[in-house]
């Protein structure tokens, strides 16, 4: 054998494989692809590649083995198009991932969306500018490995994501005496990165491309959020409270505006002076562009969490019991809450107002609820915090006290309450009558709460407790 010729052949084959594949058999050795304004295919190969261990399975296109990897950096538009073309491979699969090369999260997988035969193509406009995207490529079924072409293009070259693409860069809106629309856009917006600490919207087919606003609640505690059409003719909107890094949804709306299929939220349960975050998106995320938004004072009297007249309409919207012994429950403010919780004697929970209170003096907490019309209630707890209570909202346990009757008076009794315990109270009105409900201490009571019932104190003085 001519060893010199064999050695030259082996080196030449190795050079061809290295040139074609970029030695991209593993995410951590991925070949970096250039993002261009238009598709410019480069040729690679899966020949000789092996299966990747540890990365989440792609979930499409009959992945078996022999995958190769690439990376691309997301441009300012947040929009990338990943396309492929045939070579030896005529039927391919592709998946994109975020994370680090050793800890990847699957974003999307595709089989045959390219115009180039049975090859994959992914068009994703919800990516974070500056982030690294990992691209995984394989042959359908892994039985015809070889060359293929791939390219990555900027889906919106020269277009930047909106400055209010994230909660922490939300655009501050001014509260007007009446609606005064301002125009914004969600074109090229990505999906908010705080998916683990921020509640996803519960309505209007959210699919990313959201933009954010913030507003300071006026003394009335009552705000009306409205939108109007632009390029976007079908929108969704949610409002949140919390910090920009950890938000809890208060309300979500799809089509309540008078302006076509646009959202509007009328919320009278807000705390004067607090910051409310507003999330807006296009229904389904497939017609992004301009839209109008306004926020105006809905009016009302008083201050504090109950200003405007009602507790939250659903469990995650619980408000602290506050002000004095005449409470601002507005029975009939909401429809029956989601099924699946144990509402005890209530069975269902129509027209609810949700509240919570914190024990400040240990003992037996006993107080009366009184109104003009029928009222009923249920109480859950104890919880270590309001956040812990909210965590139970999707699957409440059996209540610790509950009463259902046709009487306009009820008595709440909690034995052996401990300082710091949080309890959640829902008051319902099956007759759908709007009414004030008073809370007064009953005989045998030995406990107190931080705000109201036993020791009436304006909530503003106890704001730090909530």
Range 315-465 has CATH code 3.90.1150.10: no
Does 2.60.120.380 match the CATH number of domain 3-154? yes
Q: Give the model's pLDDT for residue 340.
A: 62
How far apart CA 345 and CA 399 sit, in angstroms, is: 9
The β-bridge relationship of strands 246-253 and 235-243 is antiparallel
Residue in the block written with tokens 């919570």:
356
How far, in Å, CA of 400 to CA of 189, rounded? 46
Looking at the structure, give the CATH architecture of the domain made up of residues 167-297. Sandwich (2.60)
Q: What is the pLDDT of residues 343-391, one digit of tens each?
A: 889 877 777 778 888 888 899 999 888 877 888 899 999 998 877 888 8
d(CA 228, CA 224): 13
Average pLDDT, the chain: 82
The Cα 381–Cα 395 span in angstroms is 13
Query: Could you tell me which residues come within 8 angstroms of residue 65 by beta carbon, excluding any fewer than 6 positions away?
Result: 49, 50, 51, 138, 142
CB 68 within 8 A of CB 42: no
Say if CB 122 and CB 110 are below 8 A apart: yes
Determine the Cα–Cα distance for residues 62 and 137; give it in Å rounded to an integer: 12
DSSP notation for 236-281 = EEEEEEEETTEEEEEEEESS-SSSSB--EEEE--PPTT-EEEEEEE
Q: How far apart are CA 352 and CA 377, in angstroms?
A: 9
* Separation CA 214–CA 163 (nearest Å): 13
405 DSSP 8-state letter: S
Separation CA 238–CA 302 (nearest Å): 25
Q: Kindly list the averaged pLDDT for each block of 10 residues, start to end, along the chain of length 466.
A: 44 40 77 93 94 93 93 89 96 96 94 95 86 96 95 85 90 94 90 68 89 91 92 96 87 89 84 90 92 87 41 69 47 54 80 81 89 87 86 87 92 93 86 70 84 46 35
Domain boundaries, the chain: 3-154, 167-297, 315-465
Is 315-465 in the same CATH topology as 167-297? yes
**Tokens describing residue 197:** 């600490």
Task: Report the SS3 class of residue 465.
Answer: helix
Whether the Cβ atoms of residue 33 and residue 134 lie closer than 8 Å to each other: no
DSSP 387-401: HHHHHTTTS----SE
Tell me the C-alpha to C-alpha distance, in Å, between residue 451 and each of 274, 370, 462.
Answer: 18, 18, 7
Q: Are 377 and 369 in contact (CB under 8 A)?
A: yes
User: Whose CA is closest to 342, among 304, 396, 295, 392?
Assistant: 396
Q: Which residues pair with 320 in a beta bridge?
A: 356
Per-residue pLDDT tens digits for 142-184? 999 999 999 999 988 877 788 898 899 999 999 998 899 999 9
Q: Distance (Å, rounded) from C-alpha 430 to C-alpha 359? A: 29
- Residue 400: the pLDDT is 96
Those residues whose C-beta lies under 8 Å from the C-beta of residue 87, and which sit 6 or more positions away, are 43, 45, 146, 147, 148, 149
200 neighbors 248 (Cβ within 8 angstroms): no
Buried/exposed code over 10-47 (b: 16+ C-beta within 10 A; e: otherwise): eeeeeeeeeebbbebbbbeebbebebeeebeeeebbbb
User: Looking at residue 127, what is its pLDDT?
Assistant: 84
Contact in structure between 325 and 438 (CB atoms under 8 Å) = yes
CB 127 within 8 A of CB 74: yes
253 touches 279 (CB < 8 A) = no
> How high is the pLDDT of residue 8?
41
Pairing of strands 80-85, 175-176: unpaired
């Amino acid at each position: 054998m001519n060893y010199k010729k064999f050695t030259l052949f082996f080196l030449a084959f190795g050079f061809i494989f290295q040139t074609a594949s970029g030695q991209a058999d593993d995410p951590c050795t991925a070949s970096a692809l250039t993002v261009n304004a238009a598709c410019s295919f480069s040729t690679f190969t899966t020949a000789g590649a092996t299966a990747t261990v540890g990365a989440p399975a792609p979930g499409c296109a009959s992945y078996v083995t022999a995958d190769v990897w690439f990376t691309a950096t997301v441009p300012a538009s947040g929009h990338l198009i990943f396309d492929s073309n045939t070579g030896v491979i005529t039927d391919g699969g592709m998946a994109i991932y975020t994370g680090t090369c050793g800890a990847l999260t699957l974003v999307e997988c595709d089989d045959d969306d390219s115009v180039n035969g049975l090859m994959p193509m992914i068009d994703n406009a919800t990516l974070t500018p500056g982030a690294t995207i990992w691209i995984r490529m394989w042959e359908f079924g892994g039985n015809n490995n070889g060359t293929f072409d791939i390219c990555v293009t900027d889906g919106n070259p020269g277009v930047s994501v909106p400055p209010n693409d994230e909660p922490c860069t939300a655009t501050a809106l001014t509260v007007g005496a009446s609606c005064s629309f301002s125009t914004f856009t969600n074109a090229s917006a990505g999906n908010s990165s705080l998916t683990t600490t921020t509640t996803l919207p519960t309505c209007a087919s959210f699919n990313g491309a959201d933009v954010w606003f913030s507003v300071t609640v006026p003394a009335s505690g009552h705000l009306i959020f409205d939108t109007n059409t632009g390029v976007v003719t079908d929108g969704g909107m949610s409002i949140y409270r919390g910090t920009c890094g950890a938000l809890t949804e208060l309300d979500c709306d799809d089509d309540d505006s008078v302006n076509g299929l646009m959202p509007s939220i009328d919320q009278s349960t807000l705390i004067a002076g607090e910051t409310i975050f507003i999330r807006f998106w296009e229904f389904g995320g497939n017609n992004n562009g301009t839209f109008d938004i306004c926020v105006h004072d809905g009016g009302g009297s008083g201050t504090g969490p109950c200003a405007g007249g009602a507790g939250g309409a659903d469990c995650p919207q619980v408000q602290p019991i506050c002000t004095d012994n005449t409470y601002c429950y507005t029975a009939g403010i909401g429809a029956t809450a989601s099924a699946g919780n144990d509402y005890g004697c209530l069975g269902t929970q129509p027209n609810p107002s949700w509240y919570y209170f914190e024990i400040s003096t240990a003992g037996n907490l006993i107080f009366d609820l009184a109104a003009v019309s029928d009222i009923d209630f249920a109480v859950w707890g104890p919880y270590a915090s309001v956040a812990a209570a909210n965590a139970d909202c999707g699957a409440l346990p059996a209540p610790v006290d509950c009463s259902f009757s046709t009487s306009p008076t009820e008595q709440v009794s909690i034995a052996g309450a401990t300082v710091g315990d949080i309890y959640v109270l829902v008051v319902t009105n099956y007759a759908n009558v709007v009414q004030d409900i008073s809370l007064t201490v009953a005989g045998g009571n030995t406990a107190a709460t931080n705000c109201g019932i036993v020791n009436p104190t304006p909530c503003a003085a106890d704001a730090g407790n909530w």
